[in-house]
Amino acid sequence: MTLELVNAAIGYGRKALISCLDLKVNSGDVIFLSGPNGSGKSTLAKTLLGVLPLVSGRRVTDFARLAYVPQSSHFDIQYPITVQALVAQGVRQNLALRQLLSREAGGVETRQVLEQVGLVSCAKSLLREVSGGQLQRALIARALVANPDFLLLDEPFSNLDRSGRGEVAGILRSFAAGNRTVCVIDHGDAIEKSFYSRFLEIETGHLLEQRSA
């Protein structure tokens, strides 16, 4: 499976932040996307996901399921919802999965993903009661329960200590091992760069690719 942007300009309305963009993403790619604040990383992410229309050019993909993990700092932890209920949102958001699974089976799917990310012990806890690392894992679990082919994460290692970064990196390694695509928006050296297979950087309105870190 692939996702391509062909001779594309991306931005909002008619204002392009990045122009003359040609990008092909393949199954199994593990991508590190970096760039200064305001350079267009989130804009590119929304365009890849199909949420934001192109200013010009074409977007072509045969990825069936794409999922997004937002920055945990942008999530309202005061909202009265448990970890388990948050993760279960991924079942409801996946129409194909919802059609295949009964309500009981959907609960089984949620519990399996909670086990996968190590959150069974705090499944009944409210979001404000869990650690930053646990919240980040819950947001990832919400995406994973939809069984995506392409997983895009916005700064998943920010505000995490070394242990939390290791936990999240382990989850992403397991996911990527299934020949599925991962794109991580980040700034620094949160985890070993050897985890990634491609390095993209937005610089002064252009998307550049480095062959090594």
SS (H, E, C) 117-128: CCCHHHCCCEHH
Span 7-31, average pLDDT? 93
CATH 3.40.50.300 in the chain, residues? 1-64+149-213
Per-chain mean pLDDT for the chain: 86
Predicted confidence at residue 33, as pLDDT, reads 95
Q: Which residues pair with 153 in a beta bridge?
A: 69, 184
In this prediction, residue 212 has a pLDDT band, given cuts at 50, 70 and 90, of low
Q: What secondary structure letter does DSSP report for 92?
A: H
Between residues 187 and 85, the one the model is more confident about: 85
Predicted confidence at residue 213, as pLDDT, reads 56
Predicted confidence at residue 79, as pLDDT, reads 85
CATH 2.30.30.30 fits 1-64+149-213, yes or no: no
Span 155-168, average pLDDT? 84
Write out pLDDT tens, residues 79-134: 899 999 999 888 765 544 344 443 433 456 888 899 989 999 999 999 999 988 89
- How does DSSP assign 95-137, residue by residue? HHHHHHS-HHHHHHHHHHHHHHTT-GGGTTSBGGGS-HHHHHH
| Span of 7-11, 26-30, 49-53, 154-158 with lowest mean pLDDT | 154-158
